[in-house]
């Protein structure tokens, strides 16, 4: 696991197996998310729940060398991702990732990155710059659109779907493509409802990546998008 992945998931470097459980329900508010893994915390009525279920899962994952993360927003469903430490035989360890990474290097292409998470954004920027890309960063759709109008020569748009403000990821991509119809777009999301929408009517708009995104997944998506643009 790369430094990019470790920072996102608060894990030690190594290989992991991820299990994702998603729903398309009402979602969980940020206030409850902050406490959801606390022992005895529950939103159920007295006598209806112990508040120990999720705290026990969190404790088990931590003791096993993994972790569990939640991605949710009211009205957009919830996704729990469990990361299990993979135990491999020494002679089975592979040097495949460094080779793959070398093949995914950029060549100075300019990427507009839109991400409202102040912890994730600098990691994205650093990762892409180390891989040979030029990066311009924005925290909202409105800020990104203003940057694009000043410098409409970006090679790719990498944007979160759900962001603060009126201009979300999909709306941003459509407005940008009014003047740059062939601009490749990669969407990032941690919400199950976005996955459902993508399977229905989203695929023609760009590639979608589910958070947390590994370094290889991100770089492969970028390389695929840029290569497809050259073919077109």
The token pair at 44 is 């159920």
CATH class entry, domain 8-85: alpha beta
pTM, rounded to two decimals: 0.62
CATH class entry, domain 96-231: alpha beta
Alpha carbons within 13 angstroms on the beta-carbon side of residue 38 total 10
98-148 pLDDT, tens digit each = 667 788 899 999 999 999 988 889 999 999 999 999 999 999 999 999 999
Cβ proximity of 137 and 121 under 8 Å: yes
Query: Residue 68 — φ and ψ, nearest 5°?
Result: -130, 140
Q: Which residue has the tokens 């009517």?
A: 201
Start-to-end Cα distance in the chain: 34
Q: Where are the domains of the chain?
A: 8-85, 96-231
177-231 pLDDT, tens digit each = 999 999 999 999 876 444 444 444 444 567 888 877 888 889 999 999 998 766 5
């Amino acid at each position: 696991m790369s430094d990019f992945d470790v920072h996102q998931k608060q894990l030690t470097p190594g290989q992991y197996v991820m299990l994702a459980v998603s729903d398309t329900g009402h979602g969980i508010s940020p206030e409850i998310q902050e406490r959801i893994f606390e022992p005895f915390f529950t939103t159920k009525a007295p006598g209806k729940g112990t508040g120990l279920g999720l705290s026990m899962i969190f404790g088990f994952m931590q003791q096993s060398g993994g972790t569990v993360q939640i991605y949710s927003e009211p009205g957009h469903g919830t996704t729990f991702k469990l990361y299990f430490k993979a135990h491999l035989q020494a002679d089975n360890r592979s040097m495949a990732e460094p080779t793959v990474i070398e093949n995914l290097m950029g060549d100075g292409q300019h990427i507009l990155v839109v991400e409202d998470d102040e912890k994730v954004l600098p990691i994205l920027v650093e990762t892409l710059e180390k891989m040979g890309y030029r990066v311009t960063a924005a925290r909202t759709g409105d800020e990104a659109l203003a940057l694009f109008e000043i410098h409409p020569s970006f090679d790719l748009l990498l944007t979160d779907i759900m962001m603060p403000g009126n201009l979300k990821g999909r709306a941003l991509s459509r407005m940008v493509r009014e003047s740059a119809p062939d601009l490749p777009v990669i969407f990032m999301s941690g919400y199950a409802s976005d996955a459902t929408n993508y399977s229905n009517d989203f695929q023609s708009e760009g590639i979608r990546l589910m958070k947390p995104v590994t370094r290889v997944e991100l770089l492969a998506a970028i390389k695929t998008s840029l290569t497809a643009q050259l073919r077109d």
